[in-house]
Structure 1
Amino acid sequence: MESQSNVSEFILLGLSSDQNIQTFCFVLFSFCYIGLLIGNLLILISIRCSPLSQQPMYYFLSHLSSMDICYTSSVTPKLIGDLPVERKTISYGNCMFQVFSMHFFGMIEVLILTVMAFDRYVAICKPLHCMSIMNRTRCNFLVLAAWAGGAVHSFPQFSMIIQLPFCGPSEIDHYFCDIFPLLKAACTDTYITGVIMLVNSGMVTLTTFVVLFFSYVVILFTLRHHSAEGRRKALSTCGAHITVVVLFFGPSIFAYLRPPTTFPEDKVFALFYTIIAPMFNPLIYTLRNSEMKNAMRKVWCQTS
């Protein structure tokens, strides 16, 4: 990987220098990551092995579970492995790969959440045309578009980051390689690069959040004309989506929609969109969803 950097590795300062806190975090995040993997794999396999895979909402949910695993795995295993050790380092190549994978899979997840909101809009506001609008060809196209959007978002950022010169000290005040801490560590003026990154990450995140917000406002407004049972079922599904959106987008907007600088609170907020929100996704989408729970019982509790 060609670059102007004179450093071969970066030192990650991590979440805290307190050994007791690091031990606690090691145990906590290990359980969180194992729970995330088990929960999302259960959802993924349950949907793929049941008739639910033919329904657009669950088709998109299976892809969201896949992205949760890929997105979180680009950061969390490294964080867990670093917590017990005193000197936390990451090679230059792995650092650059972490930047790319975080934003690539993260953007795909954002776009799939947007597609899921569109699917809920069609199902609730245009129920008679739902299956014709959200046919399998269109669903496949929307997922492919989400992957293309992830590439369009992440490749320009990656290309700008790898051109930055790093000449020491090679310390990053974070637990993973993120854009703003890397801009701070670069030994050149990064103002223009920071503004471009702000537009790319911050404005994209805000715009998507606004689109999602107004789509759910329209959905909730439309529900006034539905029966009490229809409202209850729709609100249960939409409530799960809205919870996921708030958990993921709230901290993301704080992290990226601001001048390119770093704050001590960044690491705490980053935990929400890198570990906590993906961990809760399986619980949020299954606990109040009778179809999902029934499908999981049929797939995993079959008796011979």
Structure 2
Amino acid sequence: MISTSARLLRLIALLSSRPSWTSTALAERLEVTDRTVRRDVARLRELGYGVESDPGPWGGYRLGEGGRALPLILDDEESLAVAVALREAARSGILGGDQAVLSALLKLRRLVPASVAARLAAMDTTFEHTDRAGEQPLSTALLAALANAARRGERLRLSYRDLQARESVREVDPHRLVFTGHRWYLVALDVSRGRWRTFRADRVVDARTTGRPTEITDPPDAARLVARMITSDYPVYARIRLDRPVDEARRLVHPTAGTHDEDGPDGTIVTLGGLDPESLAERLLRLGVPFRVLSPDSVRDAVHRRATALAALNLPT
């Protein structure tokens, strides 16, 4: 089942591909019911997209003439880059689950040149995305509120739901928002407990300013804190040395996937977690650069086994 945003993008692409579609034909192409098609058409109209319909059993849907387009001071490649970014945001929910991103995308698509619109339509009709199980919708307004509070240094009263669906209210001093490529996390000081915490943004039920300024001294490295939290539940950890400066090591192993400690000007000690030694060995070999496993022996042995097997497969016959 594709998401509503993805389905609306597919619907726009289909409507753009020929003069008219019956509701039944659209439902078949989108693999939904006629009722869902009617709801999606109504939503497109609410977003300002002109979809016209003809009554009767032989009637259908078609895109109407758009309003007078305002000039867009972007070239074709720039227009495509902005539209693709908005498209991915609409599909992934990176900026929330409400209509803001999708509305902006549909408005932009009415302004871009026909060649750009055709390339976007091709992407919409051929790309597929899978939904992530257990994800909660994230409001763009909530994400903006967290970011603004951190920027302005305002203490928040946070209503938060944990993994066991238990809800609590606490006052926090927000510091940074970290996106891992999968989720947003708020890094904040839990005022009552006096320690730094990470909060999954999609589990924040409500966030209200208290009118008091934050009291932050010696804040942590936000990305590093999130990385430690994400990897804290892994049963196995590997400690390796990369013969790379720390900046390059962070490009190879993202800060949200491991911790990095400088080991001289050209070396970095990286700690990262995994489900078992074999999966960690596979991940390390995919780095594509020399490394040395410092610990544990189980990961070192797994790397040796895999490297030996690969070498054997490539021996001359």
TM-score (norm 2): 0.21
User: Which structure shows the bigger proportion of residues in strand conformation?
Assistant: 2
Q: TM-score, length-normalised on structure 1?
A: 0.22
Q: Which has the higher contact order (CA 8 A, sep 6+)?
A: 1
Greater C-alpha radius of gyration: 2
Higher helix share: 1
